[in-house]
Amino acid sequence: MVFVSTIGAIISSEVTNLLFGIHIDIEIISLIGATVLYLLCKERITILRDVNYSVLIFFVDMFIFTSALWTSGLTPNVLNHFPPFILNNTSYETSIHLHNNAIISVVSITMSQILSNVPFVAIYNLFMIENGFDKDDISPYLMLAAACTIAGNLTIFGAVSNIIIMQTAESRGVKVFTFVEFFKIGSMITVLNVIVYYLFLTL
């Protein structure tokens, strides 16, 4: 019941934001839902004891690290070495999408292997805003979301969730993919997915 209510509150928040400009952060809604669920649960101590705190610390540290790379100017400098975006209206609109979405796809999949996809989205979103993208640029942002998602299919390092699953499986005695085994399968899936997403979102 609490879970359903939390999901309903999140959907309602998005609807009211769209219609009336009234928005409540998803984080606040989720925190309230989790707090209510925790207070109603009889196994509070067990839940707290079983939380994988190392994963939480890992995520926090990762975002701190990527934020430091952005603040230091290192990440923007690296991203500036990729071809620039086209944001003027002098070209045919489809050609602009072809160009920008190609850059976003390549950069997202490549850089996600270094920074992991979720932290990369956080900093690349800032980079896109600084380069003139806004809320009306739906196709580029959808391309960013799609490319970063499938970046986790290319290698184990493309998504932190891959690493967490691998470590959890190994700790339970399950044989996991090696980096090469993962890449052999993941590369084919990633190429196919990026082609489909790119053509769909661009054309």
State whether 58 and 106 are in the same domain.
yes
Looking at the structure, do residues 73 and 168 belong to the same domain, yes or no?
Answer: yes
* Global pTM value: 0.80
Indicate if 112 and 149 belong to the same structural domain.
Answer: yes
DSSP state of 83: P
pLDDT value for 136:
85
What's the pLDDT score for residue 82?
Answer: 93
Where among 9, 36, 51 does a domain terminate? 51
Q: What is the pLDDT of residue 183?
A: 95
Nearest alpha-carbon partner for 117 in 67, 159, 173: 159
Q: Report the chain's mean pLDDT, rounded to a whole number.
A: 89
d(CA 157, CA 110): 11
CA neighbor of 135 nearest in space, from 25, 17, 29: 17
68-123: pLDDT as tens digits = 989 999 999 999 999 999 886 555 577 888 999 999 999 999 999 999 999 999 89
| Same domain for 196 and 143 | yes
Residues 29 and 56 in one domain: no
In tens, the pLDDT along 175-202 reads 888 999 999 999 999 999 999 999 999 8
What domain range includes position 131?
52-202
**DSSP-assigned states of every residue in 86-98:** ---SSS-HHHHHH
| Whole-number pLDDT of residue 89 | 58
Asked whether the predicted pLDDT for residue 172 surpasses 90, the reply is: no
Residues contacting residue 172 through CB under 8 Å, at least 6 positions apart: none
End-to-end CA distance of the chain: 42
Same domain, 47 and 115: no
Say if residue 40 is in the same domain as residue 59. Answer: no
Find out whether 104 and 65 touch, Cβ atoms under 8 Å.
no
Looking at 9, 29, 51, the residue that finishes a domain is 51
